[in-house]
Every structure is written in structure tokens, then in C-alpha cells.
Amino acid sequence: MEEAAMAGLIVDDREKNLFRVDRQVFTDKGLFEQERQKIFDRCWLYAGHESELAKPDDFVTRQVGGRPLLLTRDQKGGVNAFINACPHRGNMVVREKSGNSRNFTCFYHAWSFDTAGALIGVPGEDAYSESFHRKDHGLARVPRFESYRGLLFVCYDANCVDLVTYFGDEAREQIDHVIDSAAADVEVVQGAQNYSMRANWKLLVENSIDGYHGLPTHQRFFRKYLSDLGLQSNVTSLGSTDSRGRSLGNGHAVTEKPRHMTGLTAGAASELAAQRQLIEQKLGKERAHKAVDFDRNVFIFPNLILISTWRTLRTFYPVAPDYMEVDAWALMPCGESQGLRQKRLENFISFLGPAGFGTPDDVSGLEGCQRGFAGGREARWSDISRGMAREQPVATDELQMRAFWRRWHALMQDRTEPIACGDRD
Ligand code: FES
Ligand SMILES: [Fe+2]
């Protein structure tokens, strides 16, 4: 897309407090290709959790940023991220989703590799010349691979800033809050939710930090179901001033509101109180308060969302402009009673599970938008200006989405320097 056309895709008028996005961004095939290079080839991407590789020789495979990845824990305890493609002629070396194996044998000609990626077996090796050395044919590593508090990220741009710099202080603090809301370590529970939608991936970015849609889209859950169970919800009004929507810089964002989803952990009050005490001892009262007493959706640009209410970690990747694949995992505190773990798992699946109370509503909403975009030439703009004139936007405003769009727009125009992304910056 030409420079001027790209610049015109977003109107960000801070005098008039108007923000709108050209609906081409959800449908255009050329833009979709450019996103691959400018967003997914440049940014740090969530790939997995260290707890998925608990023991030596544990492995998982998955698609991350369009590449087949193989994550392993090697014999020395190190964690590795390889491209899951055979150095011989390219076949996917590991076809299972996860498991434990001391070595991997390629399906095609049976070259084999250990969990540190070294080539350890070549059938009929004597047919190769003296210039063939096993050490030159190990599994290719991703250019950048870092861990933050157990969260594993890859980056396909060797020149990218380090992961912690990429987060910036504020986003890092929010990730800490999510992890620190558990008294012990956290782990990804075995099994994942994998589903897809006929919608552009950026619609799910918006939706994941969209407090405005909660009541109308999920009426049945928030108004009917919870009250039938005698539970209270903190999604009760559109302007609740105790909630916040914030830009965290560099496109990262958060929505926060005081936690009062009582009942979801009913019956576990004493266990939770004991956990709370441990957290306070570890972090002090103030940090413990921030970690434990708020529900938050933390968005890490471009496509990771941590949803504390449901203890969900979710990523999603575009397959086509109008199609995305979603992966979600439960990030649970270790060492809890079986009863509390069970309740948390039920909670994890009951709202945001693919067939839960929330996700089908959201899928319907997002696929409906995508169908509407077929008329994008005539009905051209999406309005994302809610709360723009407000000094302190709340979670039902749209500042957090503007933060995403500002970073997206900058990267698409090759402006890769860190930027603040708030309304007043
Ligand atoms: S492609 Fe893997 S051994 Fe030939
Ligand atoms: Fe929703």
C-alpha cells in the first residue's frame, strides 16, 4: 500500500477527540501480507510457558507467527525454541503436539536429533562427503528467545530490543500483578482451547480489552445467569468510575476493575485468605492489594492477552484477512487444593471456553463485524473515540484500543521507535 494511503487508514484527531479506523484494515489482502512482515516478523510473540516443559526432554509444538515451532527442555535443563523443519529437506520433524522424548526422528528419511537440537543420526551417512559435518545440520533456532517469569517469547527479528525493554515498565508491572496474584508459582494446566473465527485478528485484540461490549453482548451471563446463582458481577454499568482503561506504552494496554466476582471461589474462603497472607508477606500490602484485589485484562502487543478473572492466557494468529486461529491456556496457581483447582478450571472453561457463556457471543459479534465490512467502501469508518475527551478513561472507554491502533499504525509505516500511545502523549 502506498505511503499516503497507509497514513490515511487511521484518523487520530486529538483536538476534536475523534478516532476512527478505515475498515480496509480488516479486509485488505495486501495489508494482511504487510502485517506479517511489519508486525509478526518484528515483535516479540508469546510461544509457551516453562511449565509446559517441566522435565528434561519435554517438548511442545505449535504455530507461532506463521512458523512451526518446536519448544524443548534439553537434558541439561535448558529451554530451546527451534523451527520445526528438518535441516535435510524440510519435513516437520515433530508431528505430535506435546510429549517427552529423548530424541526426534524425522518421518521422511529418518535423520534424528536430540532435545538440544543436535543432529545425532543419519541413515547411510557414509554416502556423504568429508565436507558434511553433523554440527552444521542441527535444528535451526529462532533468532531471539527469552523468558519472563516463566512466559516464553520468540522474536524473528534478530535486531529487536530485549523482551523486558519491549514490555516497558508499566506493561511488565501488569504482567507481574497477574502472576503475583498467586501465592506460589503458576503453571499452564495440561490441555488447551483451540478454535477459530471467520474474523480479522485485530477484532479480537479490540474485543479482548473492550469493556463496552460486556453488558450488551453477554447480557445473559452478567444479568441473568450470575443473578440466578445468587452471585454478583462487577460488570454492572457502563460508566463504573472505579474501573480504568490505560495505555501502557508501545501498544500494550490494560483494563482494570476492583474484583468482586464473589462466589466463583465460594467454599474456598479460608484457603484464599491464607494465600492472601502469604502474598502480603512476600510483596508487602500495597503490591499484594494491586495483584489480588483487581480483575485485569492485560494486552501485550500484538496478540497476547492475560485475563485474570478467568486465569486465561490467549493468543491468536491471522490465517487470512477474515480468518484467525485462537489458542488459550489456563494459568493456574501451583499447590492449591484439588477443590479450588477444580473450581478455577470450571471458571476457566465456563465463560471463555469455546462453548462457554462468553466466547460464542464474542465469536458471533466479531464474525458479524467481518460480514459488515464487506460494505466497507460505502460504510468506511469504525469509530473508536469513546472516552477520548475524558481525563481518566474507564474500562468501558476505548483508550486501550486506541493504544493498540497507534502502535499498529506506526509499525505499518515502519516507525519502529518506542511510542507512548496514550491520548495525551
Ligand atoms: S527431510 Fe528429514 S530426514 Fe529428510
Ligand atoms: Fe466478550
User: Where in the chain are the domains?
Assistant: 46-148, 171-412
With both helix axes pointing from N to C terminus, report the angle between 269-283 and 285-292 in degrees, rounded to the nearest 10: 130
Among 24-28, 108-112, 218-222, the minimum mean pLDDT is found in: 218-222
Sign of CA dihedral 64, 65, 66, 69: negative
pLDDT digits (tens, 9 = 90+) for 399-421: 999 999 999 999 999 999 999 99
Closest CA relative to residue 305, chosen from 352, 346, 366? 352
What's the rounded Cα separation, in Å, for the pair 25 and 6?
10
Q: Whose CA is nearest to atom 3 of ligand 1?
A: 109
Does 95 contact ligand 1 (Cβ within 6 A)? no
Please give the average per-residue pLDDT across 104-109, as a whole number: 98
Q: Rounded to whole angstroms, how far apart are CA atoms 260 and 147? A: 32
Cα–Cα distances (Å) from 353 to 44, 91, 166, 302, 395, in that order, read: 26, 33, 30, 22, 23
Q: Which of 396, 419, 422 is nearest to 256 (CA)?
A: 396
Minimum mean pLDDT among 31-35, 185-189, 350-354, 398-402: which range? Answer: 350-354
- Please say whether the beta carbons of 155 and 43 come within 8 A: yes
d(CA 379, CA 370): 13
Q: Stretch 11-20: mean pLDDT, rounded?
A: 97
**Confidence class of residue 248 from pLDDT cuts 50, 70 and 90?**
very high
Q: Please check whether the domain covering 46-148 is classified as CATH 3.10.180.10.
A: no
CA of 105 to the centre of ligand 1 (A): 9
pLDDT in tens, 315-331: 999 999 999 999 999 99
Q: How far apart are CA 62 and CA 191, in angstroms?
A: 13
Residue pair 253/299 in contact by the 8 Å Cβ criterion: yes
Which pLDDT value is given to residue 81?
98
Q: pLDDT at position 262, please?
A: 55
Range ranked top by mean pLDDT from 95-99, 231-235, 392-396: 95-99
CB 205 within 8 A of CB 299: yes
At residue 228, the pLDDT reads 77
Q: Domain spanning 171-412 has what CATH number?
A: 3.90.380.10
The model's pLDDT over 58-85, given as tens digits with 9 standing for 90+, comes to 999 999 999 999 999 999 999 999 999 9
What gap in Å lies between CA 255 and CA 299, rounded to an integer? 9
Q: How confident is the model at residue 240 (pLDDT cuts 50, 70, 90)?
A: low
Nearest to 239 by CA among 18, 19, 399, 395: 395
The per-residue pLDDT for 1 is 86
Give the per-residue pLDDT at 347: 86
146 pLDDT tier (thresholds 50, 70, 90): very high
Mean of per-residue pLDDT scores for the chain: 94
- In this prediction the pTM is 0.96
CA distance 18 to 166: 28
Q: How would residue 233 be classed by pLDDT, with cut points 50, 70 and 90?
A: low
% of the chain with per-residue pLDDT over 70? 96
Residue with the larger pLDDT of the pair 112 and 225: 112
Consecutive H or E run containing 325: strand 323-333
Which stretches within 72-128 are classed as H helix? none
- From ligand 1's centre to the CA of 131, what distance in Å? 19
- Which pLDDT belongs to residue 242? 81
Position 26 pLDDT exceeds 90: yes
Residue 334 banded pLDDT, cuts 50, 70, 90: very high
Residues in a beta bridge with 246: 254
Please say whether the beta carbons of 207 and 364 come within 8 A: no
Pocket mutation for ligand 1, best pick of 82, 108, 125 (most atoms within 8 Å of C-beta): 108
Residue 168 · residue 418 · CB < 8 Å: yes
Tell me which residue has cell 478513561.
393
**What is the structure's pLDDT at 99?**
98
Q: Say yes or no: CB of residue 106 within 6 Å of ligand 1.
A: yes
Q: Is the pLDDT of residue 24 over 80?
A: yes
Q: Which amino acid residue places its CA nearest to atom 1 of ligand 1?
A: 89
Write down the pLDDT at residue 238.
63
Ligand 1 centre distance from Cα of residue 111 (Å) = 6
Q: Give the mean model confidence (pLDDT) for residues 47-57.
A: 98
pLDDT band at residue 336 under the 50/70/90 scheme: very high
Distance 261 CA to ligand 2 centre (A): 16
Q: Which ligand ends up closest to the CA of 221? A: 2
pLDDT given at position 38: 97
Least Cα distance to 73 among 97, 99, 94 occurs for 99
Q: Is 44 exposed, middle or buried (0-12, 13-18, 19+ CB in 10 A)?
A: buried
Residue 260 — pLDDT band, cuts 50, 70, 90?
low
Closest CA to 310 of 273, 335, 346: 346
